[in-house]
Amino acid sequence: CVVLDVQAACRNATVTQELLKEGFHRDLLVKVELSLEEEDAGKCAVAVRTRLPPGIYVDPYELASLQQQNLTKAVLIPDVIDVEAPEYLATDLLVLLYMEPDPWCSHCFRAALPVHGRYHRPAEESEEALVVLKSPEVLVCCCDNRLSTVCWKPAEVEAPCSGTNNSPCQWYSVMHKPAYEQLILQVPVGLRQHSSLVCVVTVLATVLCSSLILAAVCKYGCFS
C-alpha cells in the first residue's frame, strides 16, 4: 500500500489515503482525524472531495449497489460515466465521499471507495503507467455548531450532510498543509513491440473460433 499522510496547519487534522488490492480493481481507503472534542465530533458530518484523473474511475452501478447496502456513500460529478472508455478518451471525475465515524477513535472518520484503472496506450519501455491521485479536500458540516472562520472556510458544495438532516448544509473546508501531496497508482500496460504478436494471436484465435462455430452449425444446424 502507498500511504499519504497530511498534517494540517490548523487544528492538526490528518488525512491518510491507501490503495488496497492489486491490478486494475482497487479500494481507496481514506481516513480523517480531526482535533474535535468528542461531543462535537458526534454532531459533525465529515467528507472528502477528491478529483480522480482520467486514468481511474468509479463504476456508478457498483457504487449504487454499495449505497443500497449502506456500505458507502458518495456523490459523483458527473454522474454519467463511460466505464469502457480508455484513459486517453476519459475525463476527470469529482467525488464527494462521505466519511463514517471510526468506532476505535472518537474524533476519527473513515470511508472506502472501489476504484478501477482504465486501459492506457501501449508504452515503449515501462509495463506500468502512473496515475497520480492528489490529496483530497477535507470538508466538515456541523449543523448544530458554529465553526471558527479562522480554521474553517465555507466551501461551495451542493450536497446534504450525511447526518440526520437530508437538506443542504453549509460545508466548511478544513485548512491544511499536506506533507505529501499525491498518491501513485501503478496500472499495467502493454508494450508497443508486442503489437505485432498480439495482432497475429488475435487474428488466429478469431479464425479458429469462427471455424469451430461454423463447423458446429453445419453439423448440428437445422436447415430448411
Same domain, 108 and 197: no
Closest CA to 160 of 76, 24, 45: 45
Same domain, 52 and 99: yes
Same domain, 157 and 96: yes
Domain that residue 206 falls in = 191-223
Q: Confirm whether 3 is domain-assigned.
A: no
pLDDT of residue 185: 84
Cell numbers given for 84: 469502457
pLDDT, tens only, 93-142: 999 999 998 888 877 889 999 999 998 887 667 778 888 888 888 888 87
Q: Confirm whether 2 is domain-assigned.
A: no
Whether residue 9 has pLDDT greater than 50? no
Same domain, 52 and 141: yes
Phi, psi of 97 (to 5 degrees): -105, 120
Q: Which has more confidence, 131 or 178?
A: 131
Q: What is the pTM assigned to this prediction?
A: 0.75
Rounded CA-CA distance 185/50 in Å is 15
